[in-house]
Amino acid sequence: MNSDQLKGKWTQVKGELKETWGELTDDDLTEIEGDLEKLMGKLQERYGIEREEAQRRVDEWRQFV
């Protein structure tokens, strides 16, 4: 799923993101609004991981969406 597809399906995938990454808050999801860069930033912030690890996790998640 690319960024445009993610933005188009944002309402549908928010619940899935919250299930996958329970540390993300509703406010985080509202702020992200389907932007992959913002998603990676929030993952870094909430989980204390490096950018490369956030990218890997997002890429892995996108394969299954």
CA–CA distance, 30 with 14 (Å, rounded to integer): 9
Do residues 32 and 39 lie in contact, with contact meaning Cβ atoms separated by under 8 Å? yes
Where do the structural domains in the chain lie, given as residue ranges? 3-64
Q: What gap in Å lies between CA 60 and CA 43, rounded to an integer?
A: 14
pLDDT of residue 65 exceeding 80: no
Q: Residue 60 pLDDT more than 90?
A: yes
pTM (2 decimals)? Answer: 0.87
Sign of CA dihedral 30, 34, 35, 38: positive
CATH no. of 3-64: 1.10.1470.10
